[in-house]
């Protein structure tokens, strides 16, 4: 079963319509989702986890319907978003509070992520800077080894060294060739670097989709391609 | 194996990876039979996509510098040094041809070119 399979998907939100006739993700790949603000990246990712129900068409993750079967889907798929609500506990308490909800929570990996992202277990969530908050959300999203990792703008507020650590952790996910990452970002250079495939959306539609080198074209960067 | 790639160089990532591994093989740092890291391991180490490393390994294999055995991994080829020498000769041929074409385009005649080539040979 593919990590993601979309057919004839339409999701309407006011005047905006997301319209994806066909989109599949292959296991073991990192796929970049690119587009301007309002192009439909977040809508697409929310539809994948079932936060938004399709107006028509189907979304299947590992063959499961995320709207009809949210628990089974949420055990295998994570969505890290910018506005993911976090209880205002200390970072360490938050991790301990959430871990029991995930049968696959990996305590060794959590310890490593604390180190990599320089998290301070004693800090209260509300006192964290934007970048620190992003690092906590990244750690939370990766610590239970979801099979499909959806990341919506995972670099928000990160400085250069943290951004590189984030990229390394994303690549770490696909060391396991059964796991998959679908990541949206405004940082074209980062996506070009780590993504096997790039999907470009414009006004709710996919306008380019293919291996990174083919979509970007040799002799130019993704940023130049998007300009 | 230490590799670093940079976006600033303008050279595609797969080419940078490929060239650096080829150089290490030619320099003898990676003797024949040496196992290269798995594609996914090297991708995480270098911070580039899996597809980039795959392409670099495929090109190295096409050039005869490495061999990959299904399920066992990728190894420096026994004939790597010979293959890399043949590739270098081809590269030099291409460079010479390009130089001659440019000279012709600029109207430099054959005898002047020959003389320049002789001088370059003499000039140690």
What are B51-75's pLDDT values in tens digits? Answer: 999 999 999 999 999 999 888 899 9
Residues of B in contact with A210 (CB under 8 A): none
For residues B59 and B113, state if they share a domain: no
Name the least confident of A25-29, A81-85, A93-97, A206-210: A81-85
Task: Tell me the CATH class for A4-226.
Answer: alpha beta
Rounded to two decimals, the ipTM of the complex is 0.90
- Count of pairs with CB atoms under 8 A, one residue in A, one in B: 48
For residues B21 and B59, state if they share a domain: yes
Residue A28 near residue A179, CB atoms below 8 Å: yes
pTM: 0.87
* pLDDT for position B9: 82
Q: What is the mean pLDDT of residues B95-108?
A: 91
- Select the residue from A165, A193, A222, A225 to test the B interface by mutation, using most B Cβ atoms within 10 A: A193
Count: domains in chain B: 2
Residues of A in contact with B43 (CB under 8 A): 171, 174
Please tell me the distance from the alpha carbon of residue A138 to that of residue A81, in angstroms, as a whole number: 9
- Convert the pLDDT of each residue in B10-61 to its tens digit: 889 999 999 999 999 988 899 999 999 999 999 999 999 999 999 999 999 9
Q: What percent of chain A has pLDDT over 90?
A: 90
Q: Taking CA atoms, what residue in B is nearest to A177?
A: B40
- Give the closest-approach CA distance of B86 to chain A in angstroms: 26
H/E segment holding residue A136: helix A130-142
* pLDDT for position A106: 97
Look up the CATH number of the domain holding residue B36.
1.10.10.10
pLDDT at A224 > cutoff 90: no
- Convert the pLDDT of each residue in A91-110 to its tens digit: 999 999 999 999 999 999 99
pLDDT at B124 > cutoff 70: no
Enumerate chain B positions whose Cβ falls within 8 A of a Cβ in A.
7, 12-14, 40-41, 43-44, 47-52, 55
Residues of A in contact with B51 (CB under 8 A): 29, 196-197, 211-213
For residues B24 and B66, state if they share a domain: yes
Residue A29 near residue A183, CB atoms below 8 Å: no
**A193 and B14: CB-CB below 8 Å?**
no
**B14 and A174: CB-CB below 8 Å?**
no
* Residues spanned by the domain of B103: 82-122
**B51 and A194: CB-CB below 8 Å?**
no
> Which strand ranges, in their side-by-side order, compose the sheet holding A16-25?
A56-60, A4-13, A16-25, A205-211, A197-202, A30-34, A180-184, A148-152, A77-80
For residues B17 and B72, state if they share a domain: yes
**All residues at 6 or more sequence positions from A171 whose CB lies less than 8 Å from its CB, including other chains:** A30, A194, B43, B44, B47, B49, B50
**B47 and A171: CB-CB below 8 Å?**
yes
Q: What is the mean pLDDT of residues A14-35?
A: 96
Instruction: Give a yes or no: residue B5 inside a domain.
Output: no
pLDDT at B99 > cutoff 80: yes
For residues B19 and B75, state if they share a domain: yes
* Sequence ranges of the domains in chain A: 4-226
Q: Taking CA atoms, what residue in A is nearest to B53?
A: A196
Tokens of A20: 């994806």
For residues B41 and B17, state if they share a domain: yes
Instruction: Give a yes or no: residue B32 inside a domain.
Output: yes
**All residues at 6 or more sequence positions from A100 whose CB lies less than 8 Å from its CB, including other chains:** none
Residues of B in contact with A177 (CB under 8 A): 40
Tokens of A123: 């800090």
A52: nearest Cα among A104, A11, A92, A83:
A11
């Amino acid at each position: 079963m593919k990590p993601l399979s979309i057919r004839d998907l339409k999701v309407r939100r006011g005047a905006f319509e997301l319209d994806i006739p066909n989109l599949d993700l292959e296991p073991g790949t990192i796929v970049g989702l690119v587009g301007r603000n309002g192009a439909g990246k977040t809508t697409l990712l929310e539809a994948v986890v079932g936060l938004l129900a399709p107006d028509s068409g189907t979304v299947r993750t590992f063959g499961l319907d995320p709207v009809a079967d949210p628990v089974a889907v949420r055990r295998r798929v994570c969505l890290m978003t910018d506005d993911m609500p976090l209880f205002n506990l200390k970072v360490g308490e938050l991790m301990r509070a959430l871990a029991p909800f995930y049968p696959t929570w990996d305590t060794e990996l959590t310890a490593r992520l604390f180190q990599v992202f320089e998290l301070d277990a004693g800090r209260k969530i509300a006192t964290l800077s934007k970048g620190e908050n992003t690092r906590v959300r990244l750690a939370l999203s990766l610590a239970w080894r979801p099979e499909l990792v959806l990341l919506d703008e995972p670099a928000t507020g990160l400085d250069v060294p943290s951004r590189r650590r984030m990229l390394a952790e994303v690549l770490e996910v696909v060391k396991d060739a059964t796991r998959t990452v679908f990541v949206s970002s405004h940082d074209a250079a980062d996506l070009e670097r780590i993504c096997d495939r790039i999907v470009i959306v414009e006004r709710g539609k996919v306008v380019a989709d293919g291996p990174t080198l083919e979509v970007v074209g040799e002799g130019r960067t993704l940023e130049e391609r998007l300009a | 194996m230490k590799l670093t790639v940079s976006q600033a160089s303008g050279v595609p990532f797969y080419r940078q990876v490929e060239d650096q591994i080829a150089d290490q093989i030619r320099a003898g740092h990676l003797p024949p039979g040496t196992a290269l890291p798995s594609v996914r391991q090297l991708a995480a180490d270098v911070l580039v996509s899996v597809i980039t490393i795959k392409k670099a390994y495929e090109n190295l294999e096409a050039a005869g510098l490495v061999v990959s055995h299904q399920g066992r991994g990728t190894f420096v080829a026994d004939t790597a040094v010979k293959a890399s020498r043949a590739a270098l000769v081809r590269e030099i041929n291409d460079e010479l041809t390009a130089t001659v074409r440019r000279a012709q385009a600029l109207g430099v005649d054959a005898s002047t070119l020959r003389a320049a080539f002789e001088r370059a040979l003499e000039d140690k």
